[in-house]
Structure 1
Amino acid sequence: MELVAFPVELLVSIIVCLDVRDILRCREVCVFFKTLIDEDVHTQYKIELALAGMEDGPPSALTPSDRLAILRERQEAWKSLTWKARTEYDMRRGGVWELYGGVLAQADGDRTLVCAQLPSVIRGIEEKVWTVEDVGVKIRDFGMDPAQDLLIIIQHHTEGSDLLSRVHLRSLVSGKIHPHAPKGGMLMHKLRPGQYSYTIQTSEDFLGLLIQSFELGESELLIWNWKSGTLRLHLHGEFLPSFAFLTSQYILITTFPDEDPDEEGNFPHTITSRILVVDVDAAPEQPTQLSDLDYLCAFHYPTLSNNFTTIAMSLRSDPGPHWRPNPSLKVPFHISRTDRLFVITMWLTEGHAHVALLSLIPASTFLSAMASLAPGETRREFEWSEWGPRGSRFLVAPSRHTTVWVCYVYGMTFVMVLRSGSQQVIMTLDFNQLDIRRTLCEDDPETETPTENARLVTETTEFRRAGVFLDPVQTSLPYWLRKTRPLGGEGAEGEGHFEAVMLSEDSLIMVSSQSHIRKYRVLTF
């Protein structure tokens, strides 16, 4: 009780420095503390940031009261899927594109990039369109990190009988060599002649490059420190379907068994599909086969029935860990650097029939399991029952689930498009667990009320597709399901036709790539 005698200003200064969970515990101590916390705008802003899965932005002229009002407006807009403005961009014919960190970039021809900083009405981000003229090389593929003004250009270069993959590190704004890149501004890797596809991801100083050749039946995963040019990890093998950074130290790699059917056409399934966790800091210096890798741990999926086999897996999560917007944008707040959702798509086949499954897993599921590892322990196997039923959700992917426009997850939210009669419906699945817990507190007036277009899914669901798994598969991780019909009633040509929807921090991006309608339609929040 001696704390009550402290000056109010001093108490508030102490409380606002606490972790949000501790602030909420203080609020339950007595009426005095509850009133103190509820009436202080600094504390309320900190609480609302955490519940929204956000972090405070850089200092600016905006007061905490201003930021709190903007935050509440932003949350209300996304919960009702009520966008504030609309922008359109023509689809270029360069063949490669990227959406990351609020920037949509497209190749225009084979040497030029056209970039657009997507605007935000609520967070005060102005639209900016610029062109990175002739970059000096033919663009085979590219990636980017606007927060670090980093542009990554892949070039194929032949020297005699050797094929070199040149990784050029440039400024996204100017196209010049990045000032933090190693001498020459380029990384190189030798390949066998053939056709290759690339997956490019960044996490702070790390650059990850997955190189796959279905023609040659081989894959390589390279992790560089792009500033020093040091190669930190080099994995190779026949099956490296996809990867993502869990943190800057740990990467996730999907794997599935490569098995031939027996004489009766059944698959033995002696090994389930898994997600491996690899510690970059403990990785061997020399090139290593995935099968020989001393991985940290593995998360197993349920066993498939004898009729089904996995033919492909993909892993998506945006943005990378510890990512924050470029300070030049001066945003009042931004998405949390730790709360991220991973979306794993599993393509299965039964003879000529195909089915795609979605496994949605928050980073906290992996990290909490990893916290149970003993010091120095490796190759720990987490069975499905240990992590999957309570820590994830399994869904059948919609028929329109895309393999091309794959930027369908941002932060803790996944977006997809479904057809409802003659109309298309955009649906978001929001896995922000703190906000869901608040919703479940019935006495909280700030909680969201379920409506026709929004409902909280908390019940355990069983995977309904008969015969896919050997045993019943149930999952129960709660999420908010929200939906909207974005173009209902509009009469302009092609308005109701879009084949995919993508997601950024301030936008829903509808994609139409038919020959007569080649557009990105951006719904801005």
Structure 2
Amino acid sequence: MPWAALPVELIVRILEALDPHALLNCRRVIRLLKSVVDETVTLQYHIALHSSGMVDGPPGLLSPSERLSLLRSYETSWKNMDWNEHTSLPVPDGSLWELCGNVWAHSRGDNAIDFVQIPSRLRGIPLCQWTLRLDFPLRDFCMDPSQDLLVTIGRATSASLHYQTRLLTLSTGEEHRLARDTATLEYLPAGPRIHWSYSIRISGDYVAILFINNGDGGDDDDEGDGNELVVWNWKTGVQNLRVTLVCMISFIFLGNDFILVSTSTSPPLDYEQPSLLLYSLDQTHVRGVETPNPHLLRFLFPTRPPTYGHSVISLTSDPSPGWSTSPSLQVPFQNPRDERIIAFSRFYRGFPSSETFLIPASTLLEHISDTKIEGEGCEPLDIQWKSWGPTSPVPLQGRWSVFTCFVFGMRHILPGAALRDDRQVGIVRDLCPRRCMRASEEEREESNALHYAMKSKEPYPRSIVKCVNLPRSIDVSSDVKLMISEDGIVAFEVSCMRGWVSMVAQLMPSIGLQHDTTGNKQIHFLTF
């Protein structure tokens, strides 16, 4: 039966079942299909979501036409780096902070946390602030607003070396209703230490904590006990994985079933070729120090001459694979779960410089799917740098500080604010293939000009680089750390106490990065 004989309503229903690529191909077949696609709002919204690198939000009150209009405005704001809302708040006294999607949190003293839901006019997210007061001294925390989950670690004492991780409701501070029994995960790290620091990540049903051994300050202190990574199913309390390595300092979740660990060495010790180690979360047993670590793959870094000394690898990526915008917000559209950047850096102890690389998570996942991973007892496989490594580092990104929230989804922001024509700016890089393909020739030329102005010697593939103006209310003498969130830019401002800050790098004749300093703190949210 020819297409012209079908009712338009039936044609629309057929086209709605197609993916965007097939839909665009149908549009090129005959004039009738082109007309139907171009005049049907639901089909246009379907195409716009795909081309903008977004996915549809949960069902709500907004019609497809309203969602399409908001999506186009949202995309234009990001394209032009034109934030439409600026919220500025003082930062309380406290040493802990966290940024997850559209929620910012900062500790207040040692037993309270202030939370801010970052507003977004175009996605209908209101500004919301609340404070949770805890009945224990806080040592560290992590959160997942999509699951209304707050994970906290209290301060350890010499009287109790068991570390209690409490699973609380983010909105109320009560025990999380989905956590089993007492909503507490207990763990006793190896060795009689109480001076640990932590890295906590959440992905779906998993909570992972990296216990970093800082030593106990004694004369007999050594690194023999190593650092310990433990992964639980936080809903059941079952421990899925435990890894102990001396050189392990960071990790991320990779896909739904794996964890990727950065290490400068791996058994047997190899100080010339550090690696990223891949572990499976399908394991339900615990392996101790005496058992070989059950990594499945090693993504190897290039070797360097011994004169470079010992290298350190850092690793970060946001959001986690199991993350989404909180369902309660009823946003019209959101970032897809399966598209995100992994950032890693390598520096050598004794050398001031370091290199930061960006790579899509899909690149590593493709190597996993292309590799036959055998069961327990088989030798792990090595993936050489030339098979997976990026071609060039990010220009002008120096040694990482505690502010590592400089990637979200497929976007990256240079952590240090810069000066351009006496205006503070941020440098944002977009690696989403679909958005890059749609960039105009003018955008590409401007992107390349800015990239080369950042002292880069070679083109950075498949990315668009742009400047975003920071509010003039931010003092140019302040130290500003930039982070990127789901809906915009987060600027952490520390006012200078000793006058002007010296410039240490040049992006253009009038652009320079800034030193760290101390002073009054302010947080700025610039939303698109």
Instruction: Please classify the TM superposition score into its range, dividing by the shorter chain length.
Output: 0.7 to 0.9
- Indicate the percent of aligned positions where both proteins have the same amino acid: 30
Q: In structure 2, what is the equivalent of residue 257 of structure 1?
A: 265
> Relative to structure 2, which stretch is displaced further, 411-420 or 111-120?
411-420
Q: Give the match for residue 494 of structure 2.
A: 513
Contact 1:200 1:207 in 2 (8 A): yes
Partner of 2:437: 437
Alpha carbons of 1:159 and 1:402: their partners in 2 closer, same or farther (altered >3 Å)? Answer: closer
SS at match of 2:119: coil
Change (3 A) 1:44 1:65: same
In the alignment, the residues of structure 1 paired with residue 465 and residue 244 of structure 2 have an alpha-carbon distance, to the nearest angstrom, of: 39
SS at match of 2:188: strand
Aligned pair partner of 1:229 in 234, 237, 262: 237
Cα contact 2:158–2:194 (8 A) shared by 1: no
User: TM-score, with normalisation over the residues of structure 1?
Assistant: 0.86
Displacement, 1:450? 1.3
Q: CA-to-partner distance for each residue in 1:175-209, whole Å, 9 max, x for gaps?
A: 11111112111111113323111111111110011
**Alignment partners' CA distance in 1, 2:523 and 2:168:** 26
Counterpart contact for 1:57–1:332, Cα < 8 Å: yes
Q: 1:450 aligns with which of 443, 452, 460?
A: 443
Match of 1:315 in 2: 315
> Residue 228 of structure 2 corresponds to which residue in structure 1?
220
The aligned counterpart of 2:146 is: 147
Q: Quick one: distance in 1 between partners of 2:211 and 2:19?
A: 42
CA deviations over 1:432-451 (Å, ceiling 9, x no partner): 01222233xxxxxxx57417
| Alignment partner, residue 464 of structure 2 | 480
Q: CA deviation at 1:407?
A: 1.0
Question: Does residue 522 of structure 2 align to residue 524 of structure 1?
Answer: no
Distance (Å, rounded) in 1 between the aligned partners of 2:479 and 2:35: 50
> How many Å apart are 1:322 and its aligned residue?
2.9
Question: Which residue identity does 2:383 align to in structure 1?
Answer: F
- Structure 1's consecutive aligned runs of 4 or more residues displaced over 6 angstroms after TM superposition are 456-459
Question: Are 2:411 and 2:428, in contact at CA under 8 Å, matched by a contact in 1?
Answer: yes
What is the CA–CA distance in structure 1 between the aligned matches of 2:62 and 2:21, rounded to whole Å?
25
Deviation digits for residues 466-503 of structure 1 (CA, Å, limit 9, x no counterpart): xxxxxxxx88531110112314xx3x573652331011
1:355–1:522 CA distance, 2 compared to 1 (3 A): same
2:411 aligned residue: 413
Task: Give yes or no for the alignment of 1:247 onto 2:262.
Answer: no
Tell me the distance in 2 between the aligned counterparts of 1:289 and 1:167.
22
**Counterpart in the other structure of 1:137:** 136
C-alpha contact 1:398 1:418 (8 A) present in aligned 2: no
Q: Which of these residues, 493, 497, 501, is aligned with residue 482 of structure 2? A: 501
Following superposition, the deviation at residue 119 of structure 1 comes to 0.4
How far off its partner does 1:320 sit? 0.9
Give the structure 2 partner of residue 15 of structure 1. Answer: 15
TM-score for both structures, normalised by structure 2: 0.86
Q: What is the DSSP-based 3-state SS (H/G/I as helix, E as strand, rest coil) of the residue aligned with 1:394?
A: coil
Instruction: Summarize the Cα distance change of 1:93–1:500 in structure 2 as closer, same or farther, 3 Å threshold.
Output: same
Contact 2:356 2:397 in 1 (8 A): no
2:448 & 2:6 partners in 1: Cα distance?
44
Which residue is equivalent to 2:298? 298
1:402–1:290 distance in 2 versus 1, CA, 3 Å = farther
Does residue 426 in structure 1 map to residue 437 in structure 2?
Answer: no
- Contact 1:311-1:347 at 8 Å conserved across structures: yes
Contact kept, 8 Å, 1:455 with 1:482, in 2: the verdict is no
Change in CA separation of 1:382 and 1:463 when aligned onto 2, cut-off 3 Å: farther
Residue matched to 1:118: 118
The separation in 2 between residues aligned to 1:355 and 1:291, in whole angstroms, is 36
Q: How big is the shift at 1:46?
A: 1.2
1:27 Cα offset (Å): 2.7
Partner in structure 1 of residue 367 of structure 2: 369
Structure 1 counterpart of 2:235, one-letter code: K
- Distance, in Å, in 2 between the alignment partners of 1:322 and 1:462 is 37
CA distance in 1, matches of 2:346, 2:443: 31
Deviations 1:393-412 (A, max 9, x none): 5224434x541111111110
Tell which deviates more after alignment, 41-50 or 492-501.
492-501
Quickly say closer, same or farther: Cα 1:230–1:284, change in 2 above 3 A.
closer
Following the alignment from structure 1 to structure 2, what is the Cα–Cα distance between the partners of residues 385 and 11? 48
Write the letter of the residue equivalent to 1:403: S
The 5 Å alignment of 1:166-177 reads: 166-177=164-175
Q: Post-superposition shift, 1:353? A: 2.8
Any idea what the Cα deviations from partners look like across 1:126-170, whole Å, max 9, x if unmatched?
00001112x11110001111111111110134474x512110111
Paired residue type of 1:450: E
The structure carrying a bigger strand percent of its residues is 1
SS of the equivalent of 2:324 reads coil
Structure-2 change in CA distance of 1:494 and 1:118 (3 Å): same
Equivalent residue, structure 2, for 1:273: 274
Q: Does the residue aligned with 2:9 lie in a helix, a strand or coil?
A: helix
Q: Would the aligned equivalents of 2:272 and 2:305 in 1 still touch at CA under 8 Å?
A: no
Counterpart Cα distance in 2 of 1:24 and 1:30: 12
Change (3 A) 1:423 1:348: farther
Letter of the 1:58 counterpart: P
| Greater CA drift, 117-126 or 369-378 | 369-378
Deviates more, 1:421-430 or 1:323-332: 421-430
Q: How many residues align?
A: 490
Q: Are 1:40 and 2:40 counterparts?
A: yes
**Which residue of structure 1 lines up, in the alignment, with residue 393 of structure 2?**
394
Question: For the structure 1 residues 54 and 289, does the alpha-carbon distance in structure 2 shift closer, same or farther, using more than 3 Å as the test?
Answer: farther
Tell me whether 1:353 sits opposite 2:351 in the alignment: yes
DSSP-derived class of the 1:83 partner: coil
Q: 1:93: which partner in 2?
A: 93
Deviations 1:267-316 (A, max 9, x none): x97752222221111x3612244982332222222222443245322211
Using a 3 Å threshold, how does the CA distance of structure 1 residues 103 and 448 change in structure 2: closer, same or farther? farther
C-alpha distance in 1, partners of 2:311/2:93?
30
AA matched with 2:183: G
Could you tell which deviates more after superposition, 101-110 or 305-314? Answer: 305-314
